[in-house]
C-alpha cells in the first residue's frame, strides 16, 4: 500500500505502544504490518517493530535460548530512535509470556504499553503453519512449530496479561487489523497539525 506523505499527519496527545501477542501462526506479524497501513492512512505517526527480528542472532547464550536480553537491548535503542523521529504509536509483534516480560518491554519502550492477544483455534493455527512451512528445507521446523503453538497457547492462557483479545479464527489479516484498531481507539482523539 502506498501513502501520500504530503498529507497532514495527526499528533496524539500521548505516545503509546501496542504489543500484538499470541501463539506462533496466529498472525501477529501480518496484523502488525496491516495495522501500520491503517494508521498511516489515518495520518497517525507510528512505527512497526517485529520483535523476532531484534533477537535473530546465533548462537543464543546459555540460559537465554530465545535471546530475550538481546531483544530488550535492541528494543530500547530502536524505540528511542522511533520516539525521537516523532512516532506517537509503536506497534509490536511478538510474545510476552508473563507480567515480568510485559513490564520489561514497557520499560525498554519508554512509553505505556497495552497488550492485544490474537487467538485462533489450534486447528486453524496448524493449518496456517503448514501453509507457511510448505517450502521449508528443514524438515524439523514444522513439527517444532506445531508443538510450540500448542505449548505457547497454554502458557498465554494461563498468563492472562492481555488488555484486548481478538479471535482471528474466521478473520482475514486485514479484518483482524481493523478489529484491533477499533479496539484500541487510537484514532478517536487525534488532531491534525501537519507535523510529525
Express each pLDDT in 2-47 by its tens digit.
Answer: 444 444 444 445 899 999 999 988 999 999 999 999 999 999 999 9
Cβ count near 72 (within 10 Å): 19
Is the pLDDT higher at 179 or at 193? Answer: 179
Instruction: Tell me which residue range forms the domain holding 72.
Output: 13-187
In terms of Cβ atoms closer than 10 Å to its own Cβ (0-12, 13-18, 19+), residue 138 is exposed
192 domain residue, yes or no:
no
What is the residue-averaged pLDDT of the chain?
Answer: 87
pLDDT tier at 165, thresholds 50, 70, 90: very high
Task: Please name which of 107, 73, 96, 75 lies closest in space to residue 160, comparing C-alpha atoms.
Answer: 96
For the chain, the domain total comes to 1
Q: Give the lowest-confidence range in 25-29, 134-138, 154-158.
A: 134-138
What was the pLDDT predicted at 1?
Answer: 43
At 74-119, the pLDDT tens digits run: 999 999 999 999 999 999 999 999 999 999 999 999 999 999 999 9
Examine residue 196 and state whether it is found in any structural domain, yes or no.
Answer: no
We report the CATH number of the domain holding residue 89 as 3.40.50.300
In a domain, 79, yes or no: yes
Domain-embedded: residue 63: yes
- Does 194 fall in a domain? no
Q: Do the domain assignments include residue 8?
A: no
Residue 5 in any domain: the answer is: no
In a domain, 3, yes or no: no
Amino acid at each position: 500500500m502506498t501513502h501520500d506523505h504530503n498529507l497532514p499527519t495527526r499528533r496524539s496527545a500521548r505516545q503509546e505502544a501496542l504489543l500484538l501477542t499470541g501463539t506462533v501462526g496466529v498472525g501477529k506479524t501480518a496484523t502488525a504490518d496491516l495495522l501500520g497501513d491503517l494508521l498511516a492512512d489515518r495520518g497517525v505517526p507510528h512505527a512497526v517493530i517485529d520483535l523476532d527480528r531484534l533477537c535473530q542472532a546465533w548462537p543464543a547464550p546459555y540460559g537465554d535460548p530465545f535471546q530475550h536480553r538481546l531483544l530488550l537491548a535492541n528494543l530500547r535503542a530502536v524505540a528511542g530512535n522511533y520516539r525521537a523521529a516523532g512516532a506517537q504509536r509503536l506497534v509490536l509483534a511478538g510474545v510476552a509470556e508473563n507480567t515480568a516480560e510485559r513490564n520489561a518491554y514497557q520499560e525498554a519502550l519508554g512509553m505505556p504499553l497495552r497488550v492485544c492477544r490474537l487467538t485462533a483455534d489450534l486447528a486453524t493455527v496448524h493449518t496456517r503453519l503448514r501453509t507457511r512451512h510448505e517450502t521449508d528445507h528443514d524438515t524439523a521446523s514444522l513439527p517444532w512449530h506445531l508443538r510450540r503453538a500448542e505449548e505457547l497457547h497454554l502458557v498465554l492462557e494461563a498468563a492472562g496479561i492481555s488488555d484486548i483479545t481478538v479471535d482471528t479464527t474466521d478473520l482475514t489479516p486485514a479484518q483482524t487489523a481493523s478489529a484491533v484498531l477499533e479496539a484500541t481507539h487510537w484514532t478517536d482523539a487525534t488532531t491534525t497539525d501537519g507535523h510529525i
